[in-house]
Amino acid sequence: MKEQNEKNLKIIYDTMKLAENYYHAATVMSFDMETICPPAAMEKQGETMAFLSTEGYKLLKSEEFIRAVTELYGNLSDEDIDPLDRELVKSLWREYDKIKNLTPKMNHEHDLIRNKAYVDWLRAKQSSDYSVFAPSLEKIKEIGIEEVSLRGNKSADPYDDMLGDYERGVTQTDLDEAFGECKERLIPLLEKIKASGKTIRRDFMSRTVTDEAQKNMARYLLETIRYDFDRGAFTTTEHPFTSDLARDDVRVTTHYHPNEFTASMYSIVHEGGHALFGQLQPAEHHDHRIAGNMSMGMHESVSRFYENRIGRSRAFIDLIYPRAKEIFPGLLDDVTPGELYEAVNIVEPSLIRTESDEFTYTFHIIIRYEIEKAYMAGKAKTDDLPRIWNDKYEEYLGIRPANDREGVLQDVHWSFGFGYFPTYALGNMYNAMYFNRMKKEIDVDALVRAGDFDAVNGWMKDNVFAKANILTAKEWIKDITGREFTPKDFLDYLEEKYGAIYGL
């Protein structure tokens, strides 16, 4: 049995190595497509990406590979199988169960649809015309439901499976409960903040800053949190993202706004958090090909930990303030660190999720989730989504988009599917839980104020990153904190922080 297990593992590793070459090439092209690819070349590039992905997909659908996975999955109790190889086999089996009835031809066709959807979304956003994207969005919904219907182990509701693709084990029932608590506590708190009478100075936040200065600031911030430039790079894009191309190639992107210099600052710290998660993966997880198995909620917990719990803290502002004055000459000469801290934490309902304040951010996710849920249940039609979107923003935040670009078209995610957005809010809830443990063990504020991110990142590596590829999100957060998942820590944090800022 041991000899057969070893033979099957060799087949798996050899096949995955070859498939990864195709996927790596497609991912590099995807990074190019979202950064410097000429607009007229995008559709052709998308076709090439689809071809490469399909070739990799064919390898993972080969009879020899599937037989090796199936036999090993049936022998997981064998003691001669390395524990990390067991995790690999379980992961491969889950993925196989999802795609076993999806033919290479269908996979290729669906890749073409998704690539075209991205191009259509980009054109639609640039022209602020939802009708350009609507036909592709309808197809994205159709192929998403079709793919779920072909799975072996599927839920009664396709949307639960889509949610589970990003956050295994999390369902609409979990989200309805968590988001219900958020609305119960945050809606009244938002009204108190609006009625507080507190005026936060923000005139300097719209002062013009050159792209070059913002680029220098982005590099400084990445260096500060210990992003490894020998294993990464950064550039600009329409919608900031992080691309985990390989063990030693994790790239980040940002976008510069001439009159919103902090937008890029917090975008790059957010993406830098994602990148640190990629760069600080355990070496043995790469060796056993399970690096990257973490859920998106775990990933978002880390990116928003660096962006908000660290990046918007008073300690971080005190750390970066002197350097910011140097990088942005004259910008902050009449601004104190305290004024900058309050300005980056101002609560002001806004239309764009990626530029929203930490407090109202959760409402953006709840809105998107409620729309997705209704859309997938057939309670909302494709053509109605812009109106539903605008109505919900008015209901929850008291503001209404003036056009599709700042409304339903603002995010890229629907061009490749549904179920991703709740992970952003779950990430906030996860990091609130592990931050409460972290601050009991190390003096986080003192370390941040001193710029000692080796210590901060070391704690994260040992406690947050170490088992993320092995456990489900619910198991993982309990392993870190000793407690079951709850949104309470996050809601308590918001009440305490913003109660202090607004004198509530």
Residues recognised as catalytic: 271
Tokens of 154: 């599927």
| Gap between the Cα atoms of 17 and 12, Å rounded | 8
Q: How far is CA 485 from the centre of its chain?
A: 19
Are the beta carbons of 301 and 431 closer than 8 angstroms? yes
Are the beta carbons of 438 and 459 closer than 8 angstroms? yes
Maximal CA-CA distance, the chain: 74
Provide the 3-class DSSP secondary structure of residue 329: coil
Are the beta carbons of 434 and 477 closer than 8 angstroms? yes
Tokens of 100: 């076993």
Q: Looking at beta carbons, which pairs linking 461-465 to residues 24 or more positions away fall under 8 Å? A: 461/280, 463/434, 463/437, 463/438, 464/298, 464/301, 464/302, 464/434, 465/277, 465/280, 465/281, 465/282, 465/302
| Gap between the Cα atoms of 19 and 27, Å rounded | 12
| Gap between the Cα atoms of 174 and 170, Å rounded | 6
Tokens of 305: 């930990």
Close Cβ partners of 203 (under 8 Å, ≥ 6 residues apart): none
Helix and strand numbers (H, E) in the chain are: 21, 3
Close Cβ partners of 293 (under 8 Å, ≥ 6 residues apart): 87, 91, 285, 468, 469, 470
| φ and ψ at residue 48, rounded to 5 degrees | -65, -40
> For the purposes of burial, counting CB atoms within 10 Å of the CB of 475, is it exposed (0-12), middle (13-18) or buried (19 or more)?
middle
**Residue 74 Cα distances to 60, 82, 165, 261, angstroms:** 18, 15, 23, 55
